[in-house]
Amino acid sequence: MKDNVNKASELPILYSLRNCPFAMRARLAIFRSQSPVILRSIVLNDKPAEMLTASPKGTVPVLVLPKEDNGKTVIDESFDVMVWALTQSDPDDLLHAGEAAISQDMFSLVSKFDNEFKSALEQYKAAKRYHEDNLVERRQVCEAYIADLEQRLTTHTFLVSNRESFADLALLPFIRQFAKVERKWYLQSPYPNLKQWLNNYLQSAMFNKVMAQHPLYLSTDEVIYF
């Protein structure tokens, strides 16, 4: 038991919500980096006091890094958690080190989707949820971004090249959400390459691992290593 306690105290702690797309992409990057962390699964209506102390804004993911001097560093933006993880270890070269043009395109694409597509997606989801009469219009705004991805996937296997990248993991949870808004429409939509790209991820062992359900932190004494 003492060895387990010592091991736990030396690892970063990740507060995460299973179906939150921001938390999801943080877990994807951590999984691919093979950097061990302690996973604390939460629900939004019962947030742990320790998480709120570390990050008062109360959103996930929150990554708490241990320090030798007993201080703590907190990373509470999903993009930054992804960068941290892959900077620690990037065995699949998802950051495309040494390929400046691809790296620039990769981060530019993620920034565009973070700053523009997410807002359009939220409006599309709201139009569906509240049966608004502008559903098609909201979907078409999203489609401008989806069509860009389809074109990219016509040119190469992944979003920025023929090799997987940071961008694929960063966008995956939000494209998954887009596909679920109007499922019947999506299945008949003219984006075959995007649908194949998404299906490949959703059916992967990686996705199953990252989406595994764990006991909630506040309901168990078990230390969950991820």
More confident residue, 197 or 71: 197
**pLDDT tens-digit profile of 171-182?**
999 999 999 999
Alpha-carbon gap, residue 178 to 150, rounded angstroms = 14
Split at pLDDT 50, 70, 90, the class of 5 is very low
Q: Are 179 and 4 a contacting pair, CB within 8 Å?
A: no
Class of the CATH domain delimited by 100-204: mainly alpha
Split at pLDDT 50, 70, 90, the class of 72 is low
| Residue listed under structure tokens 């043009």 | 101
**pLDDT tens-digit profile of 84-131?**
999 999 999 999 999 999 999 999 999 999 999 999 999 999 999 999
Amino acid letter, residue 4:
N
| Residue listed under structure tokens 């921001």 | 22
Enter the CATH code of domain 2-93+207-219: 3.40.30.10
Domain ranges of the chain: 2-93+207-219, 100-204
Alpha-carbon gap, residue 201 to 205, rounded angstroms = 8
CA separation (Å) from 155 to 34, 149, 151?
30, 10, 7
Q: Are β-strands 62-66 and 38-41 bridged in parallel, bridged antiparallel, or unpaired?
A: unpaired
Is the model's pLDDT at 42 over the cut of 60?
yes
Q: Are 86 and 95 a contacting pair, CB within 8 Å?
A: yes
16 φ, ψ to 5°? -145, 155
Alpha-carbon gap, residue 8 to 223, rounded angstroms = 8
Split at pLDDT 50, 70, 90, the class of 71 is low
Token reading at 180:
């679920």
